[in-house]
Amino acid sequence: MSDNVIHVGDADFETQVLNSEQPVLVDFWAEWCGPCKMIGPIIDELADTYAGRVKVAKLNVDANRQTAAKFGIRGIPALLVFKNGQIQASQVGAVGKAQLAQLIESAI
């Protein structure tokens, strides 16, 4: 796992994501989710690629139901890009690195 990926939860989501100076890509995932595990290495690569420009965070939906519910997460993996506390872009389901990079680029 990349050192550039942070883990966030209900308690620190506002501080780490909504109040972030940088855009933040949040990966909503769960341990039991196969597609989530498939894109995990891609998320790590993107965290390294965009280090210093975009913060990359992971939120376990099973352990942080309040935040997942607040943002209407019904399917995972769900990737949301936040900028200035607002959702700028989103993607539900496992996609390739190029599509995820495009998602980030569209928001920054």
Cis, bond preceding 23 (omega within 30 deg of 0): no
Contact (Cβ atoms closer than 8 angstroms) between residue 25 and residue 57: yes
Residue count (the chain): 108
**Residue 33 is a catalytic residue:** yes
User: Quick one: 90 exposed, middle or buried, by C-beta within 10 A (0-12, 13-18, 19+)?
Assistant: middle
Q: Active site residue: 33, 54, 56, 79, which one?
A: 33
Q: Active site residue: 26, 36, 61, 104, which one?
A: 36
Whole-angstrom distance, CA of residue 45 vs CA of residue 58? 14
Active site residues: 33, 36
